[in-house]
Amino acid sequence: MKRLLLYLLSVIIPVSSVGQNPDSLLRYSQDVALLEEVALQMVEARNIPEAIKFYKHIGSICRESDDFMLAIHYHEKGLELATQSADTVEIIQCLNQIGTNYRRMSVLEDASNFHYRALTLCEQYSDKTSENALRNKVFSLNGIGNVYLTLNNFAVADSLFRAALAGEIALGNHLGMAINYANIGALYEGRQMYDSARVYYERSMENNRLANSNLGISLCHIHFGRLAEIDGDFDEALKHYQEAYLMGLSGDRWHWLEACIAIVRVYIIKQDMRSASIYLDRAEEAAHKIQSKESFALVYKTKYLFYEKSGDNGKALENYILSRNYEDSILNVTNVTHVSNLRLRYETELRETMIEIQAIQIRQKQTERNILLSFGIFSVLILALVLNMLRLRNRRNRALTEMNATKDKFFNIISHDLKNPALAQRDALQMLVANSHLWETEMLADFTNELLKSAERHVELLNSLLNWARIQTGRIACKPALFDLAARLRTDIALIRKMAENKHINLVLNLPDTAPVMGDANMLVTVVRNLLTNAVKFTAPNGTVTLDVTAISPNHYTITVNDTGTGMTPIQLENFFHLDKQQTCRGTAGEEGSGLGLIVCKELLSMHNSLLHVESEAGKGSKFWFTI
């Protein structure tokens, strides 16, 4: 009989044989037995790609007939053939189809498992840019998103639907875009973010119209009607529901029933019981044709609301009991499904083992093709590693060079700037001891005063060297606390004022009444004192040194030291904070300096997360500032 049907079908279809044009059979036949026989013939003829197509088609027919286990059976046959032929694209499609079957059965764990397997293969597959590859990935994302939507995990569902939407936009698929816009809108509605939901429903409507999808347009009218009903605009809601109702939802009786019940609900609210009764009768008639427990539960619950509003408490109670019975029946079915899930989980684990074995076979077949690519990648990595090692070696050499230069400069300061003044002081003291009885009192006083100045410079250099060494070895601790910087500066710069007066330099202090800052008081005062000392040292008589403490915000100030001194050349500025490149400079009165004091200032400020800035021009003075 089957062969007779096959012959008759081959006569009807304008081709010489079914085997030569299998697509025609796929298009015209819904006979599972006939299609399975053709698929077996394809397998015997080693036409594996066509056999896979047939098994996928048979599985889809079974799914549309609500025979999900049989659908899984045929899709698994397609998966087996695709695995044997190492056809990654077909493997992905079969995995997605099996995931969809499990999702229709509400076996969500297995559904997500198969969709995720498909998605993983999409990511691993070399072809990620073709239209077919992108469609497979979008299918996987949408399937997983629907699983999470069923589980009310809106956050994960949102990310998946948006990724699927991006893929549909790239494909230019208006129907796919419409579906995902509606899904995202439903997520916003579930979160009670109705304005955002409306935006996405409008985008869905626009793309449904571009795709000429009457079903999608009708569903959008239901979405808009629901939003209007939430807003209390029942006339607008009724208009949308009736639009969906009149379009018939493209033969989708379940969604048509949803529109019909929505109309009844609005008429009950508007107290138009006559109209509500008409549509309620139609809904009940449709429910009997669908023979779905969910539809009966929905209809009887709506009848309960109708009779309650009509004041017929007896019929209201009767329909309430009926609706609860159907809901309880659904709950019992859910329990049975849960038990079935346990069995299916065991079977799935067994299938997963087989899939892993088949995946190993696929990887073995792909090994030869990947060897050359792996060798190329390995060569690139080796080259990158060598280049990186050379770069690190050069960086290390530069760092060692800088460290050696810094060490040499440090020991030069010790051997020259410390040793020579000490020797000079010793010789001067020997001269003083030998000739003090011959010199007059005034000459002795001048000589002693010069010795004192030399000792003070010596002590200043020693302090700078010790502070620098303590900073480099981490032995100086920053102890921040809130203190009044202005008050501390007024009491700590008396010596600097004396230095300025001795050189006939005008020292200008622009300090606020109070300047509360957070930091280590001793460190910050040391920085300001060193900056002022340096400014006085390099400013000629009758010049000006200015200290400004300016508030930026509460507890946040800018400290600036300006001078009209000798300034610096661009080369001096470039080498300013490098100890190994510092040149010993003398002040305008012959004061000696190593440049180490300002380097210490920079280090102390870095411990406060602050920077020391400098602007200078030869012959035009210098400006130092920092914020704290």
Listed in order, strand segments (DSSP E) in 225-272 are: none
> CA angle 319-325-330, nearest 5°?
130
| Lowest-confidence region among 83-87, 266-270, 350-354 | 350-354
Q: CA-to-CA distance for 448 and 451, rounded, in angstroms?
A: 5
DSSP letter (8 states) at residue 251 = G
Q: Can you give the pLDDT at residue 460? A: 61
Give the chain's end-to-end CA distance (angstroms, integer).
Answer: 95
Report the predicted TM-score, pTM, of the whole model to 2 decimal places: 0.46
- Long-range contacts of residues 419-425, Cβ cutoff 8 Å, at least 24 apart: 421/454, 421/457, 421/458, 421/461, 421/592, 422/458, 424/454, 425/451, 425/454, 425/455, 425/458
Q: CA-to-CA distance for 42 and 37, rounded, in angstroms?
A: 9
Report, as an integer, the average pLDDT of 16-44.
71
Q: Can you give the pLDDT at residue 291? A: 67
% the chain with pLDDT above 90: 30
| Relative orientation angle of helices 313-412 and 108-124, to the nearest 10 degrees | 40
| Lowest-confidence region among 2-6, 21-25, 41-45, 582-586 | 2-6
Please report, as a single letter, which amino acid is at residue 528.
V
Report, as an integer, the average pLDDT of 405-430.
60
Query: 625 versus 401: which is more confidently predicted?
Result: 625
For residue 63, what are its two tokens? 């799914």
Question: Residue 583 — very low, low, confident or very high, per pLDDT cuts 50/70/90?
Answer: low
Sequence-distant (6+) residues with CB within 8 A of 46 are: none
Residue whose pair of structure tokens reads 């499609």 in the numeric block: 93
Q: CA-to-CA distance for 78 and 72, rounded, in angstroms?
A: 10
Q: Are strands 481-484 and 622-627 parallel, antiparallel or unpaired?
A: unpaired
* Beta bridge partner(s), residue 510: 548
* Beta bridge partner(s), residue 516: 484
Q: CA-to-CA distance for 614 and 599, rounded, in angstroms?
A: 12
Report, as an integer, the average pLDDT of 289-299.
75
610 alpha carbon, distance to own chain's centre: 31
Report, as an integer, the average pLDDT of 192-217.
93
Closest of 6, 32, 29, 31 to residue 17, by C-alpha: 6
| Lowest-confidence region among 217-221, 424-428, 502-506 | 424-428
* Beta bridge partner(s), residue 458: none
What does pLDDT average to over the chain? 79
Alpha-carbon Rg for the chain, nearest whole angstrom, is 44
| 250: exposed, middle or buried (Cβ count in 10 Å: 0-12, 13-18, 19+) | middle
Question: Residue 349 — very low, low, confident or very high, per pLDDT cuts 50/70/90?
Answer: very low
Question: Residue 472 — very low, low, confident or very high, per pLDDT cuts 50/70/90?
Answer: low
Concatenated DSSP letters for 509-522? EE--S--EEEE-HH
Please report, as a single letter, which amino acid is at residue 77.
K
pLDDT (tens digit, 9 = 90+) per residue, 154-204?
888 898 899 999 999 999 999 999 999 999 999 999 899 999 999 999 999
Indicate the helix (H) or strand (E) that contains 21. Answer: none
Residue whose pair of structure tokens reads 């290390």 in the numeric block: 396
b/e per residue 316-339 (b: at least 16 CB within 10 A): beebbebbeebbeeeeeeeeeeee
Concatenated DSSP letters for 405-452? HHHHHHHHIIIIIIHHHHHHHHHHHHHHHHHTTTS-HHHHHHHHHHHH
pLDDT (tens digit, 9 = 90+) per residue, 496-532?
888 888 889 999 999 999 999 999 888 898 899 889 9
Question: Residue 14 — very low, low, confident or very high, per pLDDT cuts 50/70/90?
Answer: very low
Please report, as a single letter, which amino acid is at residue 272.
D
DSSP letter (8 states) at residue 129 = S
- Kindly report the number of other CB atoms within 10 A of residue 151's CB atom: 12
Q: Which of 40-49, 56-65, 385-394, 584-593 has the highest mean pLDDT?
A: 40-49
For residue 238, what are its two tokens? 């009724």
Measuring CA to CA, how many Å separate 295 from each of 68, 261, 319, 326, 330?
A: 20, 10, 14, 9, 11
Closest of 416, 417, 420, 450 to residue 432, by C-alpha: 450
Q: CA-to-CA distance for 52 and 57, rounded, in angstroms?
A: 9
Q: Can you give the pLDDT at residue 402? A: 58
Q: CA-to-CA distance for 463 and 455, rounded, in angstroms?
A: 12
Indicate the helix (H) or strand (E) that contains 552. Answer: strand 544-553
Please report, as a single letter, which amino acid is at residue 99.
G
Please report, as a single letter, which amino acid is at residue 363.
R
Q: CA-to-CA distance for 418 and 211, rounded, in angstroms?
A: 89
CB 545 within 8 A of CB 512: no
Closest of 278, 254, 266 to residue 228, by C-alpha: 266
Q: Are strands 544-553 and 506-510 parallel, antiparallel or unpaired?
A: parallel
Q: Are strands 506-510 and 613-616 parallel, antiparallel or unpaired?
A: unpaired
b/e per residue 111-123 (b: at least 16 CB within 10 A): bbbbbbbbbebbe
pLDDT (tens digit, 9 = 90+) per residue, 528-558?
988 998 899 889 899 999 999 999 988 899 9
Measuring CA to CA, how many Å separate 483 from each of 407, 443, 479, 514, 628?
A: 37, 46, 12, 10, 12
For residue 449, what are its two tokens? 């005063």
Question: Residue 13 — very low, low, confident or very high, per pLDDT cuts 50/70/90?
Answer: very low
Go through the domains of the chain in sequence order and give each one's CATH number.
Answer: 384-472 (1.10.287), 477-627 (3.30.565.10)
Q: Can you give the pLDDT at residue 286? A: 83
Closest of 188, 195, 217, 222 to residue 204, by C-alpha: 217
